[in-house]
Amino acid sequence: ELFSAIDDLAKQIEKEEILMGILNDMSFETNDDYVSRKWYEWTEEHAFIKRNVQKYIANPLNAFLIIKRGTAEIGLIEKRHPDVFEVYKERISKLRPSKADLRGAVEGLLRLQHIYKFHTYDFYEGIIGDELTRPALTPHDLFVIGMEAYDIQDYFFAMEYLHLTRELLGKKRDNYKEVDEVLLYTTLASGYNQTGFFEGAIDMILEMEPNKKVISEQTRQHIDVLLNSYWDLYNMYNHSLIIDYDAYLDDYGDKIVYNIEHEDILMSRACRGNLTKSPIELSLLKCRYVSNSPFSSIAPFKVEEANLDPYVALYIDVLYNNEIEYLMNELKPKLERAEMIGIDGERITSNARVAKNAWLYNDTDEIPMRIDRRIEDMTGLTQSTSEKLQVSNYGIAGHYNLHWDHSTKNEAEFDGGTGNRIATMMFYMSDVLIGGETVFPYLKLRITPDKRTAVFWYNLDHSGQGISVTRHAACPVALGSKWVLNRWIRERGQEFRRPCLPGKYKEIDDELLPNEMF
């Protein structure tokens, strides 16, 4: 699976070079301009890639294009030359990304748009946030995104992408007919139908002869006029919908209530930096140097309070570059798709968490032992019952939806004799250019990844009860590559280090969680 970790895309670029060789062979055999044109385009892109591979793959638009070249573009060649393709088929199939990768990549791009409200036209131009990151996409790139969006029933963005495709086709000639116009128009029409509008557009499309490859100029103009007027209406409808949702949350003002139904909006607002503490709340937070062990009295930890109650703190510069290198070397080859616990306690992969991770099992080396001791110095909590160190790398627009780290009442599993996850220590192993923040919307807290810094918080109160407002998420990575190191600290062994006191937080019943969370 390529889309769920950025690291794997570098390998795909190597495979693509072999694919280019095959493309070159095929261009001779087919004697087709289109195939040599593709070879030329890919070669140009590779000259661009070679300048900085890591930078190239850290851009979600590029990441999508890598996958799209190996799937949709190869697919076009297959369609044009089935016989020649047959000869190379087996070799090619080992070098191609999968359909699921294409789907995952598009889902990533759309996630960025949903969360950060990035505009489709900006993506077309290669803009992420405020940065121009690459040359413009082609009509066919947009078409592929639009068709995938349609398949996953994200009709709003499907229509945006397909309309833009149509608009561009009107301006530029698609000499090689990469975009299947009949499919484009029928999908646009179905999109209107799906959203409860515009039967008229569908009627027009139905009038087209199904096996007519090219729409006549007259029909096309007719449809254009129809679609354009409908499009304005459609846009108005959808934009007002989005604004309404935001207004709904505004009703609560500063007070954020636990509102599971609207958590996706809550996450979006937190990730966009629209949920922040007031100046008064911020003024209560302090920075200090902490030393509560012989070692740290020589080199005290720099601690920044991020939230007082429940306690969340940042430890600045507490992971060393050689340690990061060590962890990367040990665990990169072992990364696997991150899993979540499903409704029935089973392990599942899910769109709610797009990342790969790996656990460090051989933790008797000097470096992991050192990290262990440091966490113990930082927290005063024993590490003898902690889980193994876990490294995660996020994928294309990789993210992790709102969740608790601790298990809730209804989850029987988890304990394993060491108790619940009393606290979390999470180290950032990389900076991120845009996005990838860790957000705690109920605490109005957004933490920007800062290489070598750690975030620490308690998941359980003094009576062992889960603190519901620690619900947190990893915002999608919009530009860059995000690596984190997690250490989950367990209850057992902490009895004398963090004594039991009466509980104070009311735990939320996790039966209230909607199924879509998974």
Ligand X SMILES: O=C(O)CCC(=O)C(=O)O
Q: Which is nearer to ligand X, 223 or 432 (CB)?
A: 432
Phi, psi of 155 (to 5 degrees): -65, -35
Question: Taking Cα atoms as reference points, which of 447, 351, 359 lies closest to residue 396?
Answer: 351
Q: Please give, one letter per residue, the 3-state secondary structure of 422-473.
A: EEEEEEECCCCCEECCEEEHHHCEEECCCCCCEEEEECECCCCCECHHHCEE
| Segment 66 to 125, residues that bind Fe ion, using CB under 5 A | none
Choose the one of Fe ion, ligand X, none that binds residue 439, judging by a C-beta under 5 to 8 angstroms depending on kind.
none
CB of 165 to Fe ion, least distance (A): 38
**In the complex with ligand X, which residue's Cβ is closer, 191 or 435?**
435
| Residue that has been written with the tokens 């072999």 in this structure | 18
- Both structure tokens of 154: 């994200």
Q: Indicate which of Fe ion, ligand X, none lies near residue 23 (CB less than 5 to 8 Å, by partner kind).
A: none
Of 97 and 310, nearer to ligand X (C-beta) is 310
Q: What are phi and psi of 244, to 5 degrees?
A: -55, -45
Number of C-beta neighbours around residue 355 at 10 A: 22
Partner whose binding site includes residue 101, from Fe ion, ligand X, none (CB under 5 to 8 Å by kind):
none
Minimum Å distance from CB 311 to ligand X?
17
Q: How far apart are CA 307 and CA 294, in angstroms?
A: 27
User: Residue 438's binding partner, choosing from ligand X, Fe ion, none, with beta-carbon cut-off 5 to 8 A by kind?
Assistant: ligand X
Instruction: Supply the minimum distance, in Å, between the C-beta of residue 101 and ligand X.
Output: 22
- Which residue, 405 or 437, has its beta carbon nearer to Fe ion? 405
| Cα–Cα dist 59/48, whole Å | 13
Residues from 301 through 340 that contact Fe ion (CB under 5 A): none
234 binding partner (options ligand X, Fe ion, none; Cβ < 5 to 8 Å by kind): none
Which residues sit opposite 445 in a β-bridge?
Answer: 440
Calpha distance 249→264 (Å, rounded)? 11
Closer to ligand X by Cβ: residue 197 or 414: 414
* Nearer residue to ligand X within complex by CB, 65 or 484: 484
What is the nearest approach in angstroms of ligand X to the Cβ of residue 402?
Answer: 9
Q: Of Fe ion, ligand X, none, which one does residue 268 interact with (CB within 5 to 8 Å by kind)?
A: none
Q: Could you give the dihedral angle defined by the CA atoms of residues 222, 224, 229 and 231, in that order, rounded to the nearest 10 degrees?
A: 150
Query: Which residues, including other chains, have CB under 8 Å from residue 163's CB and lie 6 or more apart?
Result: 188, 227, 231
SS3 89: helix
Crossing angle of helices 60-68 and 99-116, in 10° steps, is 160
Strands 287-290 and 301-307: antiparallel
Partner from Fe ion, ligand X, none binding residue 491, C-beta < 5-8 Å depending on class: none
Q: How far is the CB of 408 from ligand X (least distance, A)?
A: 15
CA 498 to chain centre: 36
The listed partner (Fe ion, ligand X, none) that binds 198, CB under 5 to 8 Å by sort, is none
Query: What is d(CA 487, CA 471) in angstroms, rounded to the nearest whole number?
Result: 17
In the 8-state DSSP scheme, what is residue 418? S
Min dist CB 427 to ligand X, Å, is 10
Q: Which does 459 bind (CB under 5 to 8 A by kind): Fe ion, ligand X, none?
A: none
Nearer to ligand X, 226 or 513 (CB): 513
- Tell me whether residue 97 or residue 108 sits nearer to ligand X (CB atom): 108
Question: How far is the C-alpha of 397 from the C-alpha of 458, rounded, in Å?
Answer: 28
Distances in Å between the Cα of 144 and the Cα atoms of 8, 9, 62, 161, 181 are: 22, 19, 14, 9, 12
* Beta carbons of 375 and 476 less than 8 angstroms apart: no
**Site size with Fe ion, rule: CB under 5 A:** 1
- Whichever of 155 and 440 has its CB closer to Fe ion, that residue is 440
Provide the minimum distance between the beta carbon of 340 and ligand X in the complex, in angstroms, as a whole number.
10
Compute the least distance from the CB of residue 132 to ligand X, in Å: 27
Say how far residue 268 (Cα) sits from the centre of its chain.
Answer: 13
Question: Cβ 351 to ligand X, closest distance in Å?
Answer: 15
> Do 398 and 5 meet the contact criterion of CB atoms below 8 Å apart?
yes
Nearer to ligand X, 76 or 355 (CB): 355
Look at residue 371 and give its three-state secondary structure.
helix
Q: How far is the CB of 263 from Fe ion (least distance, A)?
A: 15
List interacting residues with ligand X (CB under 6 A): 392, 400, 405, 438, 472, 474, 484, 486
Q: DSSP 3-state assignment of 316?
A: strand
Residue 349 interface partner, choices ligand X, Fe ion, none, CB cut-off 5-8 Å depending on type: none
Is 215 or 489 the residue whose CB approaches ligand X more closely?
489
CB of 400 to Fe ion, least distance (A): 7
In the region spanning residues 404 to 443, those forming contacts with Fe ion, defined by CB under 5 A, are 405
Per CB under 5 A, contacts with Fe ion among 389-408 are: 405
474 binds, among Fe ion, ligand X, none (CB under 5 to 8 A by kind): ligand X
> Which residues would be at the binding site for Fe ion (CB under 5 A)?
405
